[in-house]
Structure 1
Amino acid sequence: MRQGEISLAGLLALFSLYLMWKSTELPIGYIRGQGPGGGFWPFWLSVGMLLSCVAIAWNWWRGKTPASVSDEPLMDSFGWRTVLHVGGGVTAFVALISVVSMYGAVALFFVYYLRFLGRHSWALTLAIAIILPIGLFFFFEGAMQISMPQGLPFTQPFFDVMYDIIY
């Protein structure tokens, strides 16, 4: 467990540095009259992730977390099954983006994650799976004016209605 904690922190720190470097291909600051540059969010979120990795490594070095002083294996069979269920869901989410749009994939992922993995009620699951993607649509397409993938043509009626509301 001890080795797993520091290894993952190191791996995520390297990934953070890569994302920071890659996001500087676009402006990472605020552009007067336009808003945040295209690399703003990826860069600063990666900075936050890097700082979190540094904090994890610091606590690991000081032996302040249970994992940092444990000699137990990283994961048992339940842990590996959980990783497969969540990883499979994320893989399906990414694969579905080009089919049912980013917002449709988010909705389906929430149904899978909340109802089938989390065993929450259908009322809560459907409320979140409907309200959150619509909120994300208005945030990205309306407020930020960033278009997300729209999937195959059968999703177009949804976008037509939503764009009519925005414009």
Structure 2
Amino acid sequence: MTTQAGHPFGLEPGSAMGVSGWTRLTQEDFNVFGKVTRDEDPMHTDPDWCAAHGPFPTTISFGFFTLSLLTGFSHQASPWPEGAYAINYGFDRIRFLAPVPVNSRVRGHFTFLGAEARSDGGFLTRMEVTVEIEGVDKPALVAEWLGLVYPPDAQIR
């Protein structure tokens, strides 16, 4: 993707956008996510089951829970343009590379990959996102995240 002049981030492709703060993922987080998504898999929600039967000795984060943290991480890490509005557009690539054990701390790293101007006044943006697990060499996930960013003067109709 090539960068178009005037896009709201003002960054060149490959530029680091920032790193979020650390967030601890608790058993309560896993339980609430499982309840809300109607997926109360014991690998994520039952520490006793994990200790006795699970593939991991403790509960681990749902991959989609870890993925859902990206928006909050991006607000901490990225230089959001003043007055602009961003809408999720999707992902071209998501990989869950390492399990995130309960009580781990994670954070997001963001790299700007580019932006394309759209006919509606917005921009299709791409960011590379890596979620790091504190003290673990392999990341929890890597993704190429697509967003629609509208400058303050764009009118979406």
Normalized per residue, the structure richer in helix is: 1
Larger relative contact order (C-alpha < 8 A, sep ≥ 6)? Answer: 2
The structure that has the greater radius of gyration is 1
Normalized per residue, the structure richer in strand is: 2
